[in-house]
Amino acid sequence: MLPSEIERLVKEAEKARDTAIVPYSRFRVGAALITIDGKTYAGCNIENISLMLSFCAERAALIKALTEGEKRFRAMAVVSGDGRYCFPCGSCRQMLAEFAPGLDIYLASPKGIKKFSVSELLPHRFQK
Ligand code: THU
């Protein structure tokens, strides 16, 4: 990804973060996923009074893309609302590893951008 493309993806993640529904944690997260063809899908975290049903931003973006039939992904940007890097949770890592194994993951904060591969974040993922 070119620096300008990464910047654009981070901006989309920041925009999605604004729509987060977080009455319980007050912790906003936004994610934006770009396909090999350059289409983007953004997601935010959505919390629910039945707390275990809360949904992460990364999986929201991934599910949006998968339900549109997308299969090949290039990169994802993730931003939180507290100025720190937001590392994807274990469930998101497992799903990204299965559906987007070649993804570059860019974690953005006011301090800068860090890049990770999926296998760096989740080595030895569960598979059958
Ligand atoms: N969350 C995400 O959306 N992505 C992550 O990678 C970690 C956590 C959400 C879940 C919950 O809504 C809030 O952030 C943390 O309590």
- Selection from 6, 29, 18 nearest residue 86 by Cα: 29
Residue pair 69/87 in contact (Cβ under 8 Å)? The answer is: no
- The pTM of the full predicted model, rounded to 2 decimals, is 0.97
21: left (phi over 0), alpha (psi -120 to 50) or beta: beta
55 CB contacts (<8 Å, ≥6 apart)?
A: 45, 46, 47, 48
Which residue is closest in CA terms to ligand 1's atom 5? 88
Please state the φ and ψ torsions of residue 120, each to the nearest 5 degrees: -65, -40
Which residue ranges make up each domain of the chain?
3-121
pLDDT, position 65? 98
Q: How would you write the pLDDT of the chain (128 residues) with one tens digit per residue? A: 999 999 999 999 999 999 999 999 999 999 999 999 999 999 999 999 999 999 999 999 999 999 999 999 999 999 999 999 999 999 999 999 999 999 999 999 999 999 999 999 999 999 99
Question: Residues with Cβ within 6 A of ligand 1?
Answer: 22, 25, 27, 29, 45, 47, 54, 56-58, 86, 88-89, 92
- Domain at 3-121, CATH from 2.40.50.220, 3.30.70.360, 3.40.140.10, 3.40.50.300: 3.40.140.10
Nearest CA to ligand 1 atom 16: 25
Residue recorded with tokens 């493309």:
5
Pocket test for ligand 1, best of 46, 48, 56 (most atoms within 8 A of CB): 56
Q: Is 58 a catalytic residue?
A: yes
* Ligand 1 centre distance from Cα of residue 103 (Å): 20
Say what the pLDDT of residue 13 is.
98
